[in-house]
Structure 1
């Protein structure tokens, strides 16, 4: 009986820690609204680790990178680069690179999708018309814009009046929190555990 109680207590504490991490991720993403005010995909040489483009600009991946770095102390620049150094063949070859590039690899949606999948964060692929209850605050969702542009966003803890979660992302005019979860075909769903 005592072992069962200990196990239940452990599970409850893990669920609480996961929920707190999700809120920290959402809070860190939301703090970028009004700070990151432009979309700028320019290649930039970054310091390593912990490199970033100027905070007033960036792309969709930079929202996730900054939120994970500030909210969870996880540096995707370093994590993705180190994994690519060891497992380069597991990553997409969309850019004809011969080796990892610590300045840009973590800023590419297909590479983040690969890293999330490799680390066990991937959830079942969303259906064409997914149930909104499947999306929790702090989830990371990918989609395809205009049929060819990979995009990434963080599920907010805020919802529409009819219960659809808002998302936090940069799709062209800086970081915003808005109702666009189902505007584009979803290609991936990830939850940091």
Structure 2
């Protein structure tokens, strides 16, 4: 009797069909996967080295840009490029380092008016237009364009396209941020370089720290976008630039110099630029940071 009971129990157990996952179990699994995905995408980067995170973000944005725009370059082209750049100066390294810091910060586009202190005033660090990125990079080598453009604009107003704005009155919060003013200043005091990039030699003439101005869409008497050349280039040999565009909405470093028509290319030597500025503005008193 005992043996038969055990057999019946065994038969009864084996004959019971296995039940599948219940809807509640599926919901729990989906929820767990979702939590894991959110953790990986949002919270895990907080524990990464910021430079590693910025590099991954840079590679991701660059790949998206190439997919959307298309590229005719073959993967082997990069190995045939001439060495570039050469040994960089201290000023070049400093400006490129500041550009990388702007990238790591994830600066967002802002073109509205911001009231700011003077001198060395700035809008909130997470916001910028393309002119603000240039201003920040040049401040890293001791040049405060807020002060310099203010003095030069007052002393030499004929250099600046003041007719573009309804008021010709000086405004320390916005004059240096207006791209036509910034371009007028850089064009006068920096070293002008070729705007052409239709050969490997001409492309290599764009050096890290150089400032570039463009007219997106073509036409126009004044540039609509500015950027700074970085120490890296794409697989076709075009140097990449730091800028922020209306289309991107965020600071970027994956646009090559020829993405828009180049209307200005300038080299910055901080000491020479400052010396020339003071020669033409001898009454200008430039205050140090924290003044």
TM norm. shorter chain > 0.5: yes
Contact 1:34 1:174 in 2 (8 A): no
Of stretches 58-67 and 31-40 in structure 1, the one that deviates more from structure 2 is 31-40
Does residue 188 (structure 1) correspond to residue 264 (structure 2)? The answer is yes
1:91 counterpart (137, 160, 163): 160
Residue in 1 aligned with 2:24?
A: none
Distance 1:127 1:164, change over 3 A: closer
Alpha-carbon displacement from aligned partner over 1:20-61 (angstroms, at most 9, x marks no partner): 211211111111014243211111111000111101111001
Which has a greater percent of helix?
A: 2
1:139 counterpart (195, 206, 210): 210
- Write out aligned runs for 1:118-133 (5 A): 118-124=188-194, 126-127=195-196, 129=198, 131-133=202-204
In structure 1, C-alpha distance between the alignment counterparts of 2:263 and 2:105, rounded to whole Å? 28
Contact 2:197 2:258 in 1 (8 A): no
TM-score (ref. length: structure 1): 0.83
2:177 counterpart (107, 110, 121): 107
Distance 1:144 1:114, change over 3 A: same
Alpha-carbon displacement from aligned partner over 1:70-127 (angstroms, at most 9, x marks no partner): x202111111111111111210121133232111111122111111122143224x13
TM-score (ref. length: structure 2): 0.56
Does residue 67 (structure 1) correspond to residue 141 (structure 2)? The answer is no
Deviation, 1:128, is 7.2
Does residue 156 (structure 1) correspond to residue 230 (structure 2)? The answer is yes
Contact 2:120 2:146 in 1 (8 A): yes
2:100 counterpart (16, 23, 30): 30
RCO higher in structure (CA 8 A, sep ≥6): 1
Residue 96 of structure 2: SS of its match in structure 1? helix
Q: State which structure, 1 or 2, has the greater radius of gyration over its C-alpha atoms.
A: 2
Unaligned runs of 5+ in 1: 1-15
Q: When the two structures are aligned, how many residues end up with a matched partner?
A: 176
Unaligned runs of 5+ in 2: 1-86, 270-291
Residue 31 of structure 1: SS of its match in structure 2? helix
Residue in 1 aligned with 2:58?
A: none
Residue 240 of structure 2: SS of its match in structure 1? strand
Contact 2:213 2:226 in 1 (8 A): yes
Contact 1:35 1:175 in 2 (8 A): no
